[in-house]
Amino acid sequence: MPKTEVILTHNIVDLGAESDHVKVSPGYARNYLYPQGLAIPVTSANKRRLEALRQRRAEREAHDLNSMTELAKSFSKLVLVLKVKTGEDGKMFGSVTAGTIVDELKHQFDVAIEKKKVRLERPLHQVGDHEVELRLHADVTSTLKVRIESSNPPPAVDLAAEAKAKEAAKAKAEGEKRERPVRKPARDKAAPAA
């Protein structure tokens, strides 16, 4: 089936970027791209318009690069603190994923980034400090420090009460040794004398 040539006016995932000259099926162009204003047909008038689209694309990409560079600098100074539920032994219930990190960035710092820009080999399963790579742009990467803390309160330790309990246990153990009754040796139970 023959393809139709179009000029894209917006970025379309898996097809092309603004001002790209691409070939698509006629039905896709007629039923989706043209009505949505995402593409225009290739004509001599539209080819002249192509230069304006290329200039707009270059300006947008330069702006994106500058803003992502500034964002990368700010991320290198941030520490994202996440509170998670843990058991008594300090093990986490669940894990911290890229989605969790994106949600907390939005909640704590009002910074919205896409989940696919957070690079985790696997979800984080341990309490402590972690470094997470962010790929904000094709040319810009950054590192975000993530601190995972337990939301459970640490057990209150009263040193005086703990020392008192140890003393009591020690005194009890020594008292049991002293007060231990002496056992008499067992006698042979012989047949009763007649």
Residue 178, domain member (yes or no): no
pLDDT tens-digit map of 58-92: 898 899 899 989 988 988 888 999 998 888 877 88
Check which CATH number belongs to the domain holding 35 and give it.
3.40.5.10
Q: What is the pLDDT of residue 21?
A: 87
Q: What is the mean pLDDT of residues 10-34?
A: 90
**Would you say residue 141 has pLDDT above 60?**
yes
Q: How confident is the model at residue 34 (pLDDT cuts 50, 70, 90)?
A: very high
* Higher pLDDT among residues 3 and 166, named by residue: 3
Residue 36, domain member (yes or no): yes
Q: What is the pLDDT of residue 130?
A: 92
Q: What is the mean pLDDT of residues 80-108?
A: 88
DSSP 18-71: TT-EEEE-HHHIIIIIHHHTSEEE--HHHHHHHHHHHHHHHHHHHHHHHHHHHH
- Helix-strand-coil percent breakdown of the chain, rounded to 5? 40, 25, 35
Q: How confident is the model at residue 164 (pLDDT cuts 50, 70, 90)?
A: confident
Q: Which of 127, 115, 123 is nearest to 84 (CA)?
A: 127
* pLDDT, averaged across the chain: 83
Please tell me whether residues 44 and 88 are part of one structural domain: no
Residue 42, domain member (yes or no): yes
> Residue 71: which residues within 8 A CB-CB, separation 6 or more?
111, 113, 136, 142
Q: What is the mean pLDDT of residues 35-54?
A: 86
**Would you say residue 35 has pLDDT above 90?**
yes
Residue 47, domain member (yes or no): yes
Q: What is the pLDDT of residue 111?
A: 87
Order of strands, edge to edge, in the sheet holding 140-150?
Answer: 79-84, 140-150, 128-137, 118-119
Residue 21, domain member (yes or no): yes
**Would you say residue 156 has pLDDT above 90?**
no
Q: How far apart are CA 34 and CA 152, in angstroms?
A: 56
